[in-house]
Every structure is written in C-alpha cells, then in structure tokens.
Amino acid sequence: MPHSELLQPVTLGRHTLKNRIVLPPLTRQRSGQPGNVPTDLMALYYQQRASAGFIVTEGTQIEPRGQGYAWTPGIYSAEQIAGWRKVTDAVHASNGVIFAQLWHVGRVSHTALQPDGGAPLAPSALQAQKVKAFIETAPGSGMLVDPSMPRELSVDDIQALVALYAQAAQNALSAGFDGVEIHCANGYLVNQFISAHANQRTDEYGGSLHKRLRFLREVVEAVSAVVGPDRVGVRFTPLFTSTDEDRVYIGFVEEDPHTTYIEAIKVLEDVGIAYLSIAEADWDNAPDLPEAFRREVRSTFTGRIMYAGRYTAERGAPLVAAGLADLIAFGRPFIANPDLPERIANGWPLNALNAAPLYGGTEAGYTDYPVYSEAV
C-alpha cells in the first residue's frame, strides 16, 4: 500500500485515530450572518472530510474583539455553540474526531470589526505591518484593509483574556468537540506576545524570552485545566528565514528562532499537552525547516508532532517513517479532495483545487468537490 506510514492508526491523548492524515485549520469565511454562526453547510463540509485521522476546525474567535476577517465563526455566543454542535454531531456520525481551533487575532484587526469601533488589542501599541485585515463592505462583499493602530493591553486585560480562552475551551466542550487547538501562530495574539518584534513590554509579560512566553504558558495552563491536557494542541509557525517579503504575514522571523521555539515547546511539554502542530512556510520556493530543529523538537516534546505546509504524501510519509512526525496535515489537497485518505491509500489522482472561492461564498468550491470514482 503506498505511503502506508500515513495510514496507520495512532493514539492522540485519549483518542485513537484511524490514520495520520489531518485536515488542518483552514479559513473559509462561510459563517452565517449576523452573528458569525456555524451553518449546516459548514457541518456538511467537515462531515465530508471525516475520514481524516482527525480534523481541526478553521480558526474560531474566542470573543468579538478577536476577529480580524469578516465572516469567520466565533465560539463565544449560545448561537455559535449550537451551530458548532451541528458540526460535531455530523463529524461524529461519520466516525470522525474533531478539535476546535481557538483564535484571537490581536492587533491584526480593524476598528470596523471591533465592538463599538474600538482599537484592536495587542501586547504593545505597535501597528501590524505587511498584513491585511478583511472587512465587510456590503452583504457578501468585502475588502482587504490595513490593520488599525492597536492599544496596549493592561495586566488586568491580559488576565481577562486568559479567562476568555478558558471559557472558549468550555464552550468547545459544550459544542461537542473532542479537544481544542490553541492558535499561537501566524502573527496573531499569542504569537505577538512571543515575538520581540511585536512585544516591547517592560513588565512581567515582556522583555526576556521567558517573560514573553508567560502569556503562552498561562493560556495553555488555563485551557488544559478546563479540557484536560490530553485534549489540547498548540500551533506554532517557526519561520527561520523569509524569502518572500510579501509573505511575512504568516509569522515573525525571530532573531534566534531555534531557541525561541524550543523554549516555547518546553512550555507545552511541562503542561503535558497532547500535540504540537508546526505550520511551515507554504509559498513557492519556501525554505524547509532545518533538520536540526526537527530533531530537537522531537527530543524536547513527548506528545504527538504534526507538520503542515504544502505537504504531499510523498513528502510527509518519510517524516513519519523517520520518527520526526506522527501526523501530517494536508490543507489545499483536503479542500479539493474530501476523500483524501482513500485517494492516498489507493494511489488515486487528486482533484485540482479551485482557488477562486477559497474565502467566502456558498457551496461552490466548498462542498461540491467529488469523491473519486473509477468510472470518472
């Protein structure tokens, strides 16, 4: 069987997964309006892909101030929780496992997305550069805009945010999710605290690397206390170089990324969470992660390790075989191929991706991709 390493079952905390192929978080901007509520169409989309070892939802904002893009779903209102319950019920009906990704964009937002037109939140009052927010201009229409100048969070604000993460984790359990992933990547709020580029605080949440990791530690501990560390994952984007100046929005290149992220991973190891997700650069000719970093990740973290970033079965299976990865996430291929694990298992060709309707829209380019048929 081709790429058999990807097709073997594996434990993930309290769950046993049927394979090592993951649907990672993928923003699709199709929540119901008003209220950013998950819909029946979203339930169908995730159910179609329930043959994954497990699913991580698109980022779902933990509070209204955590939104940076129009039409992304939330997980803070009763209506949103009820909408996500439709999603989890549909996935479980197809014997799938699904985690919710808890998201707060921090400074990557705009006053048009903030309650009462307030300023976005950030560890420091530094405006995000080379990144865009997305606002609605009319029903079903929107535009990319520069993020607004954020306000610096007070210590009381920070502690309130930690509590909001814990509440969002509780809401995820109420919605029927099997676990949660904390979005600590791509230049969003937790990543802003970690990065010296965005965090210029001089109190207990900034300055040294240890202090910049404090918010990460507190959020992971608070969420783990609610759902159990064996149902928690964390996503990082440890960029080592940026070869495309138009793509720096996916994260920050730290002065010493190896040390920064190994120390961050030690925080996760101390808490004992179930998995670490590492999202790599995904543009053409993007640099690979250094082999030495992959090996130290493995020696530092005893939970499951997942990699994402333009992976094919041919590229992902050797990482699993080498013991450097336990799970491989497939983004665009899983969008276009709802039966991706079966296609990998049988060596069947893949549907091409229709990129035009990736963000926003209806069923076109979302739930209308066909499963494989030898008759086709």
Instruction: Tally Cβ neighbours within 10 Å of residue 5.
Output: 18
Write out the two tokens for 69.
């893009």
Residues with catalytic roles: 188
Tell me the mean pLDDT per 10 residues along the chain, length 376.
Answer: 90 98 98 98 98 98 98 98 98 98 98 97 96 96 97 98 99 98 97 97 98 98 98 94 53 91 98 97 79 97 97 96 98 98 96 96 97 73
Closest CA to 30 of 43, 18, 21: 43
pTM of the model: 0.97
Does residue 250 contact residue 239 with C-beta atoms inside 8 Å?
A: yes
Domains of the chain: 4-346 (3.20.20.70)
Does residue 341 contact residue 50 with C-beta atoms inside 8 Å?
A: no
Backbone angles phi, psi at 276, to 5 degrees: -120, 130
